[in-house]
Chain A
C-alpha cells in the first residue's frame, strides 16, 4: 500500500508552546488510521495542519506525494481532503439535505445533480428521513452524522474525523462505527480519525498513532499500542502502570 498522506517531521509552535513536535507518520491508501492521545496532546492541531487551518513551522505534509503544507482549507478540500469538526458546525438555518448539498456542490455544479448525490449520502448515514428537517433542530447523534455526511458529500479521498463520536452513547457509537467501517470497506475511502472513545478507535483502526505532549510516542496495530508501556503510562499515569 502506498501512502496517501505522509507527515514528515512536522512542528507547530504557538508563541512559546511547541504544540506539535517533529511528528511523522503516514496514512496508507484505503486504511483507517487512528490518532490518539490524552487531552492537549496535539491531535486537533495535527488535524488543523493537515486541513490547512494552520501552516506548519517546519516539516512536510505530503498528500498523494505533493507537499500541501500551508494550502488553504478550500483548496485542500478540492484536492480531496474533507474534515469534520470536533464541535459539530451544521448550517443551522438550512435543512439537513441542503447542508449535504453544500458539500455535494464540490463535485456537482448543477443543483439537481448535487441534490441527488446529497440524498444518496444522507441515505448512507441514515439521515434520509431527516432530509427536510432544519439542521438546528437535530439531536447530537444526528448532528455528528450530518457532519460526516457533509464532508463525505464532497467526495474526498481522505476523510479526517475529529472526534466524530464525542458525546455519543455506547449504542450510538456502535452504530456510527458500523456505518464508518461499511463505508471504508465498500468505497475504499481512507480515514484518519482522532477519538477519545477507545472502543471505537480499537474497533475501526487498522493502525494507531499515539501522541503525547506534541510528540509521537508509539504507533502500530491496536493490539500493539494497547500493550505499550508508554501508552499505558500517559493514559493512566506512572503509578498505575
Chain B
C-alpha cells in the first residue's frame, strides 16, 4: 500500500467511525445498507475475486446464517452471538459440501455457478416448507423494549448495528489483505489465473478452492446472523431469492473484483446512486424511473470500466495500482 493509499484509508475510516455523530436516522439507515453491501461483496470477493470460483448463490449462506441465529434465538432464547457463530459454522459446512462435491467431480466455471444457484433455490423451497422456522409465513423475532445498547444480545439502536457492520467490514478487509500476502493468497490468484498451471507448481487446487469457498460462506453467514436482529423478520422467498445473490455480487463487480477496496467502493457507489435516483424518480413522478436509471448506470459502468471503478479511481487519484 502506498503512502497516499494509507492516508486515504485513514481519512475514510475516520469519517465512517464519526458518521453516526452527525447524520440523521435516514442517512444512518442508508449507511447501514451500504456497509452490508460492502461486507457481503468483500466476502464474495474472497471466493471469486481471489480464488476465481464464481458463486451466484451466496444468498444461501446469508440465509443460513440469518435463519440459524434467528431460530436459535426464538426457540431456545440463546445468546445472539452464539446463534450467529452457529450459523456461520452451518454455512461453512454447506459451502464445504457444495465445494467438495463440485471440485471432486471437476465441475468448474459456469457449471459450478449454476450449481450454486441450484443449491440456493433448493434451500429456499426447503425453508418454504420448514414449519419450525415458520415456512412461507416467515419467522419473527420478539423485540423487547431495550433501553440503550445491549451488544451481547445484539439489541439496540441502528447506531449499534452500524458499528457492528463497520467492524465486520474492517475485519474482513484486514483478513483479505493478510491472506493475499501469504502463500494461500498467491495460490488462490494462481488458481484463478490458470488452474492446471497452478497444479503443476505443486498447488493442491482442491483444498485451496475448498478453503476459499468455506471461508467466504462462513463470513457471509455472519452478516446474515447480525441482520436477522436488525430486520427481526425473515422470509425464505426474500432471503434466499436469486435476486439477493445478484445484489451481493453487484458491488464487487462494479467496484473491481479481486481488489481489496473494490467491493467497498462499489457498494458506496451503488447505494448512493440508488438513493439519489429514488429521490430523482419521486421528484419527476415517473414510475419505474429509478430502475431505468439504475440499470442504465450499471451498464455504463461495466462498459466504460470493465475492470471496476476502483482501479480506475486509483489511477486518477494517483493512489498507485492495486493488484487484481
Contact = CB atoms under 8 A, between A and B. Distances in A.
Interface of A: 51, 53, 72-74, 77-78, 82-83, 85, 89-94, 98, 101-103, 105-106, 109, 111, 114, 150-151, 153-154
Contact of B183 (A51, A82, A114, A151): A114
Which one of B194, B200, B204 has the highest number of Cβ atoms from chain A below 10 Å of its Cβ? B200
Contacts of A151: 200-201
B323 to A, nearest CB: 7
A102 B190 contact: yes
Given A74-B205, A93-B258, A94-B193, A82 B187 contact: no
Contacts of A103: 201-202
A94 B258 CA distance: 12
B254 to A, nearest CB: 19
Contact of A105 (B186, B193, B324): B186
Question: 9 closest A-B pairs (Cβ-Cβ)?
Answer: A77-B202, A91-B193, A106-B202, A89-B197, A73-B199, A102-B190, A105-B183, A103-B201, A89-B194
Nearest to B321: A134
B186 A102 contact: yes
Contacts of A114: 183, 186
Contacts of B202: 74, 77-78, 103, 106, 154
Contacts of A73: 196, 199-200
A72 B199 contact: yes
B198 interface: yes
A177 B258 CA distance: 38
B181 A77 contact: no
25 contacts: A53-B196, A72-B199, A73-B196, A74-B199, A78-B202, A85-B196, A91-B193, A91-B194, A91-B197, A93-B189, A93-B258, A93-B324, A94-B186, A94-B189, A98-B189, A102-B187, A102-B203, A103-B201, A105-B187, A106-B201, A111-B181, A150-B201, A151-B200, A151-B201, A154-B202
A106 B187 CA distance: 10
Nearest to B182: A111
Interface in B271-324: 323-324
A94 B203 CA distance: 16
Contacts of B198: 91, 102
Which one of B182, B190, B192, B324 has the highest number of Cβ atoms from chain A below 10 Å of its Cβ? B190
A194 to B, nearest CB: 15
Given A91-B189, A94-B190, A77 B200 contact: yes
